Amino acid sequence: MNRKAIYYILLPVAVIAGAATLHRSKRNTELNHQATVKAEGTVAVTLVPVQERTFRPAVAFTGTLLAVNRAELKAEVTGRVTRVAVQEGDTVAAGALLGAQDEDDYLLGVQAAEAQLAQAKAQALQAQRDNDRSVALLEKRSITRQAAQQAETAYNATKAAAQAAESNLGLARLRLKKARLVAPFASQVARRLVQPGEMLNPGQTAFEVVDNRKLEIRADLPTEAMSAVKVGQRATFRAVGLERLVEGRVAQVSPSLSQDGRTLRVRLEVPNVDGQLKGGLFVEGVILGEGETRQPALPATLLKAQDRDAELFVAEQNVATRRKVALGPEQDGFRPVSGLAAGTQVIDSGKDLVAVGSRLRVVDSPSSQSPAKPTAKPVAGGK
């Protein structure tokens, strides 16, 4: 048997043996940890106290961030794409050229129309001179009235031809303008859907541009919120990828309910000067009403953003117990908690290691005013 065959036989054996060794090592580590916990009889945890915080009445909403100024640029004439001047993500000024169709052909059409207009104006000028001369001769009775009328008719015809040529020039310039796709406002190119050489037909989308400096959220609220939501109210929300709360304002409240009478459409405006927010982000937040109430609360970072009901472990007499709570929407980094009194110590770090009845050893507590010490200290209320 050659070496290559031996290698292919031994390789799977070595992989299996390595995996078994790794599994055995992890299992031994877990058993050692369990043995230590059993021997000591405690689980190391950190605690967060339930605090009383001030909350305002709030209406929860969900929605998607969209740019207030956004546009799909569509072809208005039939033509082949001869120039594409931007890439996706480029920042462009208002009026900047994005792409063009058969630009040379339409430019030649403008030049031809300009020449025809110049010719028509020259003919109209000559006809005007002839008409003026015929009027003077008619007064001297040097020509007949019929000849004078013919000169006047010729002048009117050439003047009308000049006006028609001027209109044709305007149409040619309009076609050239429509063949050039330009940014309607200062923006960024969100999508580029064409390549040089492609044929575009009227109505076909070529580019999509957005101005992310001001965003909006269109949210549908339950009819119960109809009397609580007003234009100008402050709103806060979180977006995926951002740790901080984002603020906005109610800019518009629909004057009527939806057709089924179950929802009320509102529009919120969100300034985005730093450009961190992007259109298309899903958000979840609250519209803050008037008045204030004090309620028990926990930091929002301790809780899952989507939860409305939760089960938390709390420390009572150095022992872990489970509590079911109801959670309100986040405001200023905290969420109201129903089912726990202020001062209750909620397990934060170590909550995945405890079970109902676990004995606890606090290694650090945010409620303490002094720096954490490495030695164990009793839970509030313990003996």
State the total domains in the chain. 3
Q: How confident is the model at residue 15 (pLDDT cuts 50, 70, 90)?
A: low
Query: Do 224 and 306 belong to one domain?
Result: no
Residues 277 and 226 in one domain: yes
Residues 212, 275 contacting (CB under 8 angstroms): yes
Residue 254 in tokens? 């629909």
Q: What is the mean pLDDT of residues 206-213?
A: 93
Whether 242 is in a domain gets the answer yes
Query: Are both 303 and 369 inside the same structural domain?
Result: yes
| Residue 40 confidence (pLDDT) | 55
Domain identity same for 286 and 302: no
Q: Do 330 and 372 sit in the same domain of this protein?
A: yes
Directed axis angle between helix 103-139 and helix 145-178, to 10°?
160
Task: Return the CA Rg of the chain.
Answer: 39
Tell me how crowded residue 145 is: count the other CB atoms within 10 A of its CB: 10
> Which of 261, 291, 321 is at the close of a domain?
291
Structural domain contains residue 184? no
Asked if 73 contacts 92 with a C-beta cutoff of 8 angstroms, the reply is: no
Tell the burial category of 353 from Cβ atoms under 10 Å away from its Cβ (0-12, 13-18, 19+).
Answer: middle
Q: 29 pLDDT exceeds 80?
A: no
Render 76-143 in DSSP notation, one character per residue.
-S-EEEEEE---TT-EE-TT-EEEEESHHHHHHHHHHHHHHHHHHHHHHHHHHHHHHHHHHHHHTT-S
Predicted pLDDT of residue 380: 39
Query: pLDDT tens digit string along 210-222?
Result: 999 899 999 999 8
Residue at 157 is within a domain:
yes
Q: Where residue 296 sits, what CATH number does that domain have? A: 2.40.420.20
* C-alpha distances out from residue 167 to 13, 162, 174, 177, 265, Å: 87, 9, 11, 15, 47
Per-residue pLDDT tens over the stretch 124-153: 999 899 888 888 888 888 888 888 888 889
Give the pLDDT confidence score for residue 292 in this predicted structure. 83
Flag whether pLDDT at 35 surpasses 60. no
Which CATH number do you get for residue 127?
A: 1.10.287
227 and 254 fall within a common domain: yes
Domain assignment present for 154 = yes
Residue 251, pLDDT above cutoff 50? yes
Task: Look at residue 268 and tell me if it is in a domain.
Answer: yes
Q: What's the confidence (pLDDT) of residue 193? A: 94
Under a CB-based contact definition with an 8 Å cutoff, are residues 335 and 327 in contact? yes
- Examine residue 202 and state whether it is found in any structural domain, yes or no: no
Q: What average pLDDT does the segment 51-77 reach?
A: 90
How many whole angstroms separate alpha carbon 273 and alpha carbon 362? 44
Per-residue confidence (pLDDT) for residue 309, from 0 to 100: 81
For residue 376, pLDDT beyond 50: no
Residue 6's pLDDT band (cuts 50, 70, 90)? low
The pLDDT confidence band at residue 189, using thresholds 50, 70 and 90, is very high
Listed residues 291, 325, 357: the one ending a domain: 291
Pairing of strands 199-200, 58-74: unpaired
359 and 300 share a domain?
yes
Helix (H, G, I), strand (E, B) or coil at 223: helix
* CA atoms lying within 13 Å on the CB side of residue 116: 16
Which helix (H) or strand (E) segment holds residue 184: the answer is none
Q: Are 330 and 236 in contact (CB under 8 A)?
A: yes
**DSSP-H helix ranges across the chain:** 3-40, 103-139, 145-178
What token pair was written down for 238? 């979180």
Do 318 and 361 sit in the same domain of this protein? yes
Please check the confidence at residue 259 and state whether its pLDDT lies above 50: yes
On whether both 142 and 220 belong to a single domain, the answer is no
Tell me which of 159, 176, 193 is where a domain ends.
Answer: 176
The CATH number covering residue 238 comes to 2.40.30.170
Q: What is the mean pLDDT of the chain?
A: 83
Q: Beta partners for 326? A: 309, 338
pLDDT at 86: 95
Determine what percent of the chain is predicted with pLDDT higher than 70: 84
Separation CA 381–CA 326 (nearest Å): 24
The answer to whether position 182 is within a domain reads no
Selected residue with higher pLDDT from 191 and 11: 191
- Whether residue 2 lies inside any domain: the answer is no
Q: Which domain holds residue 370?
A: 39-54+292-383
